[in-house]
Chain A
Amino acid sequence: MNGGTEMTETIDRRRLLTSAVVGSAALAGATALGSLAPEAAFAAGDQAVEPGAPDPNFAEGRITGISAGMLFVTGSDLALWRIRITGGTSIWKLRPTTFDQVTVGDGLYARGLRLPDGTLAADSVWVNIVNVHAHIAAIGRNVLHLDHKGKRIVGHLVPGTSAARYNNTPAVADMSLLRVGKHVQVIGAWVPDTNEVEIATVYAAA
C-alpha cells in the first residue's frame, strides 16, 4: 500500500466518523439511538481477579522485540510478556500515537485482557510514561532542568504537545509562568537510558 492511498483512507475514515458524531441533526432526547441499560451495555462479563493476586491483565517492562502486531516485553521481575496490539489498542508515547512509533528498548505499561494462549491483548499501552515530582533548578531554551531528590533530570518542552496546568486550571500552552526554584509535577515520556524526559504535562502553582 503506498502512502497516498493510506492518507486518503485516513481522511475518508475521519470524515465518516466526524459526520457520524457532529453531522446528525440535534435531537432533544438524551439517548437518541441505542440503549445504555447495563444489561445491554455490559453483555460480556468481566474476568474475576482474585483479591491479592497479581492482576493478570496488566503488564510492565522493557520492549525486547517487535513483530507484526506483537510486542515482546521483559518485566522488571523478569517475567516475559507477549503483548498483542490490535486496531482497538490505544498507544501513548508522549501523545496518542501509532504502533510504528514504538521501538525496542522502550519501557511500557499495558492493560488489556489475558488470553488463554498467554498473550495479553492490550486495550491501552503507555510507552515510556513517567511521573516526576521535582524542583525547577534552572530553565533553558525549551528545557526545564529538574532537581529530583538531588539528581538532575532534563525536561524537554515539545512545542505543540507540551502543556502546563497552573493551580489545576485547564491546560494551556503557556509555559512562561514556570519559575526557577518552584515545585512541579511532570508527566512525560522518558528517553530510554538517559536522564531526559519529554514533557507532556507540567503541573505547577502560579
Chain B
Amino acid sequence: MISWIAPLQPLLLGLVLLWSARLKLLSPHAAAAAGRSALARLVGEGRALPAYRLVGGVEAALGLVLLAPPAVPAEALASAALSLGFAGYLAYARLAAPDSSCGCLSATRTPVRWRSFARTGGLLAASLLALPASASWFDVLRTRPLPAVALLLAEVAVLVALSPELDRHWLDPLRQLKVRLTRPLPAGGFEVPLDSTVEQLHRSPVWRETAALLTSDLREHWDDDEWRILIFTARHAGQEASAVYAVPRQRYQPAAVRVVLVDEPTGRVLLSLQSPPDAPEPDWVRASPATAAAY
C-alpha cells in the first residue's frame, strides 16, 4: 500500500511549494503581502521583502527538486524541515504579531489561526510519508492512475479546506448559495426606517436654518398619519425648547419639512418655520391682473 502512496507525496508537496513560491516571487502584491506578514516584525520592515523573496526562492527550488526524478529521502527530509520552520514561523506570528497576515499562499489578508497550523501539520505528515519513496510519482501515475489521482485530489481538498485564504473561492459561494435557498434575512415591507426619515430631515431647507440651534441628538419620534414627528432639544434666545420637526413619512419631499420650537412646560410656540412654497417663478415675475388687462 505505502509503496504507491509514498511516491505521490513529492508531487503534492512540489505543487504546493511552487504555488506558494509563485506569490512570493512573481505576484505584484508580494511587497504588500510581505509588509503585512509577521516577517516585517521578525526581520524589520526594510528587510521583510528580501526575506520574503528568499523564502519563495527556497520553496521554488525545493518544489522543483521534489518534482524532478529521482526521489531521494533527502528531499523529503528537507521538505519536513521546511514544514517545521513554517510551524515555528506561524507560532511566532501568533504570539508576537497576532494581527499580522499569514502571507502563506495568497496575498489576501489572513490572520494566523488553527487552520494554518493544521495545514502545516498536513505538509509535515506528507513529507514524512514521502520518506520511504523509491519509485517516481510518474511511474505510479502510469501504473495506477485511478487510485493515484483520487488520493491526490483528496489531499488537495484537505489542503484547500485548511487554507483560509482560499475560502472566498469555495466557502463564501457555498454559504451564499445557502442564503439564496433559505432566505434568512428579512426582505422588508413598506415601512420606512427611521434612518431614512432622519436623512430626509437633514436634506431639508428647514434643517439648514435650524440645525445650529439644536443641542441634543434625536430624542423621541412618532408617526402621525402622513407625518413622522421628530423631537430634538434646542436652545433659542437663551431658553431651552423642544424642536418639533414634521417630516413626510411615505414620500420624499424635503421642502415640505416644517418645525416649531415649543417651550414644553408652558406649551408656548417660540418659533415656527417652513420652507417657501414650491413656485417655478418668483412672485414679481407673475403678471398681475392689472398689467394683463393693459394688453
Interface residues of A (CB under 8 A from B): 13-14, 16-18, 20-22, 24, 26-36, 40-44, 87-92, 95-96, 123-124, 126, 137-143, 149-150, 157, 159-161, 163, 165, 170-176, 178-181, 200-201
Contacts and interface: CB of A to CB of B under 8 A. Distances in A.
Contacts of A142: 184-186
Nearest to B258: A21
A135 to B, nearest CB: 9
Contacts of B258: 21-22
Contacts of A137: 175
Contact of A16 (B185, B186, B217, B267): B267
B267 A90 contact: no
A149 B110 CA distance: 8
A21 B233 contact: no
A173 B194 contact: no
A38 to B, nearest CB: 9
Contacts of B224: 14, 18, 22
Contacts of B209: 30, 36
A124 B189 contact: no
Contacts of B3: none
Contacts of A42: 212, 235
B188 A92 contact: no
Contact of B217 (A43, A124, A173): A124
A-B pairs, 6 with minimum CB distance: A34-B271, A150-B111, A173-B188, A163-B193, A174-B188, A171-B195
Interface in B236-267: 236-240, 242, 244-246, 252, 258-262, 264, 267
B163 interface: no
Contacts of B219: 88-91, 96
A171 B270 contact: no
A168 B196 CA distance: 11
B281 interface: no
Nearest to B100: A150
Nearest to B101: A150
Contacts of A171: 193-196, 199
Contacts of A157: 185-186
Contact of B189 (A16, A41, A92, A173): A173
Contact of B232 (A14, A90, A139, A150): A90
Given A124-B216, A181-B175, 17 more contacts: A20-B260, A21-B259, A22-B258, A28-B276, A30-B276, A35-B271, A88-B216, A88-B233, A89-B233, A96-B217, A165-B195, A170-B195, A171-B195, A173-B188, A174-B187, A179-B179, A180-B175
Nearest to B206: A30
Q: In the complex, which of the residues A41, A42, A159, A174 has the most CB atoms of chain B within 10 Å of its own CB atom?
A: A41
A14 B238 CA distance: 24
A41 B237 contact: yes
A27 B189 CA distance: 35
A41 B272 contact: no
Q: In the complex, which of the residues B186, B264, B277 has the most CB atoms of chain A within 10 Å of its own CB atom?
A: B186
A44 to B, nearest CB: 4
Contact of B261 (A14, A34, A43, A89): A34
A107 B54 CA distance: 48
Contacts of A87: 264
B216 A159 contact: no
B204 interface: no
A29 B276 CA distance: 6
30 contacts: A17-B262, A21-B246, A21-B260, A22-B227, A22-B246, A28-B277, A31-B272, A34-B269, A36-B271, A36-B273, A43-B238, A87-B264, A88-B242, A89-B233, A90-B216, A90-B219, A91-B219, A92-B217, A96-B219, A124-B217, A149-B111, A163-B193, A171-B193, A171-B196, A172-B193, A174-B186, A174-B187, A178-B185, A181-B168, A200-B195
B221 interface: yes
B289 to A, nearest CB: 19
